[in-house]
Amino acid sequence: MTPTDPAPARAPRPSGWYLPYVCLAVVGMYLASAAGRMNPPRQPFDLEAFARIPVVEGGRVKPLDSAIRLYMRSISGREEYIDLKGDRQPAIKWYLEVLASSREEKSSVYKYKVFRIDNEQVLTELKLAPNADLRYSVEEIGKSINVVLKTASVTAQKRQAGQKVSLYETKMSELASRLQLFMNLARFRGLDQQSNALLLLPPQTDDTKWTSLGDYRDNALRDALLAAMNKLRELLPDARINALTADEAIQLIGPVEGIDPARLSAEQKAEFLTSVQERLKISPALIPDEERREWVETALPLLPQADQSAVRSYLRSEGEARLVADPVAAAWQGMVTAYRENKPDEFNRIVAEYHAKYLDHVSPRDKAAVRVETGYNRFAPFYYCTVLYGMVFLLAAAGLIASASEKPAWGAALQKSAGWVLYATVLVHTAALIVRMYVMDRPFVFVTNLYSSAVFIGWGCVVLGLVLERIFRIGIGNAVAGVLGLATTIVAHNLATDDTLEMMQAVLDTNFWLATHVTTVTLGYTATFFAGFLGAVYVLLQCATVVKDGFTSPQPPSLGGLLSFGAAAAGIVGVPMILLWFFCTAAAAKFEWFHPNIPLVILVVAGGAAAFYAGGLLFLKAGDTAVDANGKPLATGQLPAAAKPLAGMALDAEKGKVLGQMIYGVVCFATLLSFVGTVLGGIWADQSWGRFWGWDPKENGAVLIVLWNALILHARWCGMVKTRGVAVLALFGNVICAWSWFGTNQLGIGLHAYGFDTRLADGCTNFWLSQLLIMGLGLIPARFWASATRRRTEVPVVAVAATTAPAAGPTVVKKKAKKR
């Protein structure tokens, strides 16, 4: 090449080459916005430092932020609230508002719409107008509070008697519990159920423990009230009580107790006088705590006005003095007072002083874990993973459709984009799991409750999808990884009603077995689910093959052919509709990304379009002659335009072989992990109790998974089933796996009798029905999709001699396929 020769032309870049870079940039900006939430502004009030205050809740040391997020999820279903200006505010600010609230001054916290009520009958009984947000304020609910308390009381009595409780009564009881939690929070308490108290006062010496600020304040106010009662008794001698007349008692004390003098007879007045005198002569120390306030209100009217003021002033000063007798309790009181009086500098100073002076006896490890957990809460990694997995699924699905529509360049670009986004997402997912292990101080322990099992199974499915895509590179690994990552994070979000980092039960509190048995069994669940979803993909591609063969077959339509064709067309649009329903309802009901009615609109529109498409395919198939887009008759064996994307996705011998290898390999992996995990569980039980766990439903569910996967392998090895049979059997593995994962917990018996939730029971039922439906589609007779197993019989052969080669190009020579 000489300097004068022109430079070689640069090959044009393929269509969509820039798409992976754009997608990765979008993901980077999205995650950067999430990271920005980890360091919120600290002015005027340093809520970030306040949120990092260590407390004990649920038996473990955690940041105050975690405890309050849990409480707000319990009340509102989310971790933020909307203030009176329409701005979103964090849960920790709402907690400060609750602590600083005053019933007498009608604080704004009583007007915040934070109580979720989604039952129409409850709304009707409380005379509340339905709203799109489904949330209501204490002020709105308070107008019918007696209805709530009465219904909750009746419900509790029914449960004690073993009677059936209606949905309305259950929802009313839940609302009463949330209102009680709200009142507890205002008194520096928490759920306070099953010894699960909120402990706000850290130890100040090596031999002291965490204590409840609520208990401390109640004791302080009780002692102050007793001191005031003793002082009042000194000002009210027996002589004054004995000199009391019936008319005087009714005049002074009657209004306090709601007595109407006009309705009392002389005998009743005498009885009232005697009752009052007997109560007032009782020693204050012998009066039960719950009756002391009433005693004071009864005795005060008998004193001169000056003495009444003195007693009230004494009670107030004693209460204030006792509340701040402990320096840590005084710091809490100072923070609340500074916030109530809108003194941010004072508030920030006290919070900083609290961190510096009163946490010396909290271990350095707990302090570090609290800081990490606070950042974890703010970043909310699994929330962002949910969005990113949805993005992966859409990109991968679009890539498969583009490739099927004879746009290979765009298909490759979309698949590459899906892969890059998936790698970025799995890094975030992995980091989140590592942070959870660090906070719990449990190395290599990924699963401790149902929530953690969901996020770990999701991670395992995604990693397995990446590995399979790396090996086979057909786009299906990315698609299945995306849909399973999305589904499991949505399931986890639904399970996040309690502390997701909760302490383990004592019988299960062993790192070695949690890291071996539980992790291995859960990975067995992971592989079983992945194999089942690969089976669903195989069935969908099989349905596409039925449609393709239906159009290309030279035989006239038969009844069986039309029925199979219709089932396949319905399956092709029906299965995506099931996924769309699941994702839309989750987006509206749990994530609240849009109005609750929008999913219905989306489903109606998408369902109508899907039905029109499937019906159109069936109409074209049933017609005597197919036509193209211009209405012209098609030649025999030619596909109409509407069916060409499905034909591109249809199975062929090579694609079916690859999918079969993927399913078979994952089932082998699932069998190994499930078997090893179940055996390890038996060894753990034998070491703990000297026996296997017997007929515990959870353990039997694990054994069922082993047996079913073994059945699939034996059926294949014995020639009873081939690729289609393995795919259909793997689908039923999803049913068994879901039963073992969630179904056994709904029985309420055995060691694993936890996590009962009617939503989980309904979700399991819906999932099982969907898997059985797909299995039914997989049973379409093989003669209606025979092209999936037919080998190509034409191979291109280029002429050897250029002189004899025709000018038109390579010659195509038909050869008979070898029998195999």
Question: Is the same domain home to 526 and 442?
Answer: no
Q: What's the mean pLDDT in 709-721? A: 96
* Measured torsion, CA atoms of residues 211, 213, 214, 217, in degrees rounded to the nearest 10: 120
Question: Is the same domain home to 259 and 114?
Answer: no
Closest-CA residue to 499 (of 456, 454, 437, 452): 452
Q: How far apart are CA 58 and CA 595, in angstroms?
A: 34
Single out the residue in 262, 295, 325 at which a domain terminates: 325
Residue 772 CB partners (closer than 8 Å, separation 6+): 735
**Is residue 47 within 8 Å of residue 90, measured between CB atoms?**
yes
Question: Is the same domain home to 312 and 391?
Answer: no
Q: How far apart are CA 572 and CA 541, in angstroms?
A: 8
Question: Is the same domain home to 29 and 58?
Answer: no
* 260 secondary structure, DSSP code: -
Single out the residue in 172, 204, 236 at which a domain terminates: 204
**Is residue 110 within 8 Å of residue 139, measured between CB atoms?**
yes
Q: How far apart are CA 763 and CA 491, in angstroms?
A: 10
Evaluate whether residue 766 is within a structural domain.
yes
Question: Is the same domain home to 31 and 50?
Answer: no
Closest-CA residue to 436 (of 419, 421, 450, 456): 456
Give residue 812's pLDDT. Answer: 42
Task: Please state the domain count of the chain.
Answer: 4
Task: List pLDDT tens digits, range 729-749.
Answer: 999 999 999 999 988 877 766
Instruction: Give the chain's largest Cα–Cα span.
Output: 138
Evaluate whether residue 350 is within a structural domain.
no
What count of other Cβ atoms lies within 10 Å of the Cβ of residue 408? 13
Q: What's the mean pLDDT in 308-330? A: 91
Evaluate whether residue 348 is within a structural domain.
no
DSSP per residue, 335-381: HHHHHHTT-HHHHHHHHHHHHHHS-TTS-HHHHHHHHHHHHHHHH-H
Closest-CA residue to 567 (of 607, 605, 597, 539): 539
Question: Is the same domain home to 165 and 249?
Answer: no
Helices assigned H by DSSP within 405-475? 408-440, 450-472
Secondary structure tally for the chain: helices H, strands E: 30, 8
Residue 627 has pLDDT above 60, yes or no: no
Backbone angles phi, psi at 81, to 5 degrees: -140, 165
Pull the structure tokens for residue 347: 């508030």
Which strand (E) or helix (H) includes residue 227?
helix 213-235
Report the SS3 class of residue 56.
strand
Give residue 634's pLDDT. Answer: 54
**Is residue 756 within 8 Å of residue 747, measured between CB atoms?**
no
Q: How far apart are CA 94 and CA 67, in angstroms?
A: 13
Evaluate whether residue 393 is within a structural domain.
yes
Residue 372 CB partners (closer than 8 Å, separation 6+): 435, 438, 439
Residue 622 has pLDDT above 60, yes or no: yes
What is the pLDDT confidence band of residue 59, given thresholds at 50, 70 and 90? confident
Residue 437 burial (10 A CB sphere; 0-12, 13-18, 19+): middle
Give residue 58's pLDDT. Answer: 87
Residue whose tokens read 């393929």: 14
Dihedral sign computed on CA atoms, order 589, 594, 600, 604: negative
Evaluate whether residue 554 is within a structural domain.
yes
DSSP per residue, 655-717: HHHHHHHHHHHHHHHHHHHHHHHHHHHHHHHHHHHSS--TT-HHHHHHHHHHHHHHHHHHHHH
Question: Is the same domain home to 758 and 708?
Answer: yes
Structural domain of 90: 45-204
Residue 117 CB partners (closer than 8 Å, separation 6+): 123, 126, 128, 134, 135, 136, 171, 175
Question: Is the same domain home to 589 and 684?
Answer: yes
Task: List pLDDT tens digits, range 530-581.
Answer: 999 999 999 999 999 999 988 887 777 778 888 999 999 999 999 999 998 8
Evaluate whether residue 171 is within a structural domain.
yes
Question: Is the same domain home to 600 and 746?
Answer: yes
> Cis omega before residue 806 (within 30°)?
no
What is the pLDDT confidence band of residue 192, given thresholds at 50, 70 and 90? confident
Question: Is the same domain home to 219 and 195?
Answer: no
Give the side-chain half-sphere CA count within 13 A for 143.
11
Q: How far apart are CA 606 and CA 770, in angstroms?
A: 18
Residue whose tokens read 């509206």: 588
Distance of CA 628 to CAs 408, 553, 631, Å? Answer: 23, 17, 5
Single out the residue in 173, 204, 235 at which a domain terminates: 204
Give Cα 816 distance to the centre of its chain.
Answer: 57
Evaluate whether residue 356 is within a structural domain.
no
Closest-CA residue to 300 (of 368, 347, 386, 231): 231
Residue 455 belongs to a domain with what CATH number?
A: 1.20.120
What is the pLDDT confidence band of residue 279, given thresholds at 50, 70 and 90? confident
Give the side-chain half-sphere CA count within 13 A for 266.
0
Task: List pLDDT tens digits, range 662-702.
Answer: 999 999 999 999 999 999 988 887 787 766 666 778 788 88
Residue 796 has pLDDT above 50, yes or no: no
Q: How far apart are CA 562 and CA 617, in angstroms?
A: 11
Q: What's the mean pLDDT in 177-202? A: 88
Question: Is the same domain home to 91 and 231?
Answer: no
Give residue 40's pLDDT. Answer: 77
Q: What's the mean pLDDT in 362-375? A: 96
Q: What's the mean pLDDT in 630-637? A: 54
Q: How far apart are CA 382 and CA 415, in angstroms?
A: 23
Range of weakest confidence among 108-117, 270-279, 434-443: 270-279
Q: What's the mean pLDDT in 721-732? A: 96
Q: What's the mean pLDDT in 705-711? A: 97
Q: What's the mean pLDDT in 345-349? A: 96
Closest-CA residue to 272 (of 288, 284, 254): 254
Task: List pLDDT tens digits, range 575-603.
Answer: 999 998 888 888 877 778 777 778 888 88
Question: Is the same domain home to 389 and 415?
Answer: yes
Pull the structure tokens for residue 64: 């105050």
Residue 53 CB partners (closer than 8 Å, separation 6+): 63, 64, 351, 354, 355
Task: List pLDDT tens digits, range 424-478.
Answer: 999 999 999 999 999 999 999 999 888 999 999 999 999 999 999 999 999 999 9
Distance of CA 341 to CAs 100, 182, 336, 344, Å? Answer: 9, 22, 9, 9
Q: How far apart are CA 82 and CA 637, in angstroms?
A: 61
Report the SS3 class of residue 648.
helix
Residue 16 has pLDDT above 50, yes or no: yes
Evaluate whether residue 89 is within a structural domain.
yes
Give residue 195's pLDDT. Answer: 61
Per-position b or e across 444-466, b if 16+ CB within 10 A of its CB: ebbbbbbbbbbbbbbbbbbbbbb
What count of other Cβ atoms lies within 10 Å of the Cβ of residue 777? 23
